[in-house]
Amino acid sequence: MAPMVSELSDAELQDMAAMWRTEALRGSKEARGQAHLLEVEQRRRLGVPGLRDNTDLDLRPLAERQVRRSWWQRG
């Protein structure tokens, strides 16, 4: 792939992703990776909900994340 993914316009990115995905469906292992790379960039640019980012991680220490159970519930 000659141009950097970040340098592609949205239309070029969509066209290339579709082309590589078609090749991947024909069985090309290299095309599968390229298609994935381009599709990830598409989702990143579009801001698709559900993409993982670090904002949903609970970074507190384990002891603080665990719910303290009452003495009658332990056991």
Domains of the chain, by residue range, sit at 5-51
pLDDT at 53 (0 to 100): 59
**Residue 38: burial class (beta carbons within 10 Å; 0-12, 13-18, 19+):** buried
Q: pLDDT per residue over 36-57, tens digit each?
A: 999 999 988 888 666 665 566 7
For residue 14, which amino acid is it? Q
Q: What pTM did the predictor assign?
A: 0.60
